[in-house]
Amino acid sequence: MGEILTIGEPMVVFEAQESDVDLAKAQKFQKFSAGAELNVAIGMARLGHPVDYVSAVGADPFGVYLRHVLRTDGVADAAMLTKPGLPTGFYLKQRVSHGDPAVAYFRQGSAAANYQPEDLQTVSLTGVRFAHLSGIFAALSPNCLAAYRQLNADLVYNRIPVTFDPNLRPTLWDSQAEMVRVTNDLARYGTIVMPGLSEGRTLTGKQDPEEIADFYLQRGVTTKAVVVKLGAAGAFAKLADGRKFSVPGFTVPRVVDTVGAGDGFAVGLISSLLEGQPLPAALQRANVIGALAVQSPGDNDGYPTRPQLDQFYADHGLV
């Protein structure tokens, strides 16, 4: 297996080409790969880190396309099953001149949503140094939640660090109360918990980034740090030993698409920690890749290769 493992639902996204047009009226769309954990896998592979992606797709053109995308970017797909007779999920995404785009999902009953705990028999943790999990996969179905919990328990047993991103998708849950309860329970077993500020407020009822961090540090079973993503303002982090850091974000000339920025943040954080960088440096890289992500269409098109990342650091006088 690779040194990084993640599990999620891969999807195809069709992004509208006309700006600020309602999805029902848009006529032209461009196809991209999508899915929060898939984004992280692609971003890590572009920086030279071997990644294994665990999931399932249908035996359909979307599934074939996604497998091709993963292989092209160097992500191992041996643990991505094909489930004949079940569809691969997709969604439509609005193009906007400012703010977050509207989306419409078509993922109910997908191959990934039918992933079973016993499907994890194809997954080996040998050589895995880090795992990235998010609340999306757990929200897909009861069987996905069971598979998530089993994998997370295996990771904890093998002392493999886990980054947990809540990645709230309210439409996937039966109620907000269930979403909050289950997501906060899953967060207890993340080594690093990384909510966005808005997510943290929804999940904890707290308003201040440090209060949100304290909420998860106090309740965590394996939690050693909490990173609160602050968007353009950067990030705040607090460790279990009380140390805390605030790292500013980067101003970009134009925001094209905000979807995928949080996953890009995760790419920067995890890759830096794998390379032995201290947390403040990891937060800086996380902010860099998040800033690069919002300047490109598609959910992961803006994620840099290693030379591109090095060039950004040189252009901005970063160490």
Q: Give dist(CA 65, CA 80) in Å, integer.
A: 13
**pLDDT the model gives residue 261:** 87
Please count the structural domains in the chain: 1
Residue 253 has a pLDDT of 74
Tell me the per-residue pLDDT of 127-182, one tens digit each, with 9 for 90 and over.
Answer: 999 999 999 999 999 999 999 999 999 999 999 999 999 999 999 999 999 999 99
- pLDDT band at 280, cuts 50/70/90? very high
What CATH code is carried by the domain that includes residue 10?
3.40.1190.20
Tell me whether residue 183 is in a domain: yes
Sheet strands side by side (includes 11-19): 29-34, 11-19, 90-95, 103-106
Given pLDDT bands bounded at 50, 70 and 90, which one contains residue 63?
A: very high
Q: Catalytic annotation on 263?
A: yes
pTM attached to this predicted model: 0.94
Q: Is residue 309 part of a domain?
A: no
CB burial class (10 A; 0-12, 13-18, 19+) of residue 170? exposed
**81 pLDDT higher than 80:** yes
Q: Is 129 contained in some domain?
A: yes
CA 262 – CA 5 distance, rounded (Å): 18
Per-residue pLDDT at 1: 63
**pLDDT, position 72:** 95
pLDDT score recorded for residue 293: 84
Is residue 318 very low, low, confident or very high in pLDDT (cuts 50, 70, 90)? Answer: confident
Q: What's the pLDDT score for residue 301?
A: 81
In a domain, 29, yes or no: yes
Residue 46 lies in a domain: yes
- pLDDT value, residue 298: 67
Q: Is 95 left (phi over 0), alpha (psi -120 to 50) or beta?
A: beta
| Average pLDDT across the chain, whole number | 94
The domain in which residue 213 lies consists of: 4-217
Q: Does residue 195 contact residue 203 with C-beta atoms inside 8 Å?
A: yes
207-218 pLDDT, tens digit per residue, is: 999 999 999 999
**Is residue 259 one of the residues assigned to a domain?**
no
Mind listing the pLDDT tens digit for each residue in 21-60?
999 999 999 999 999 999 999 999 999 999 999 999 999 9
Residue 116 lies in a domain: yes
Query: Which is catalytic among the residues 52, 119, 165, 263?
Result: 263
Q: Is residue 158 one of the residues assigned to a domain? A: yes
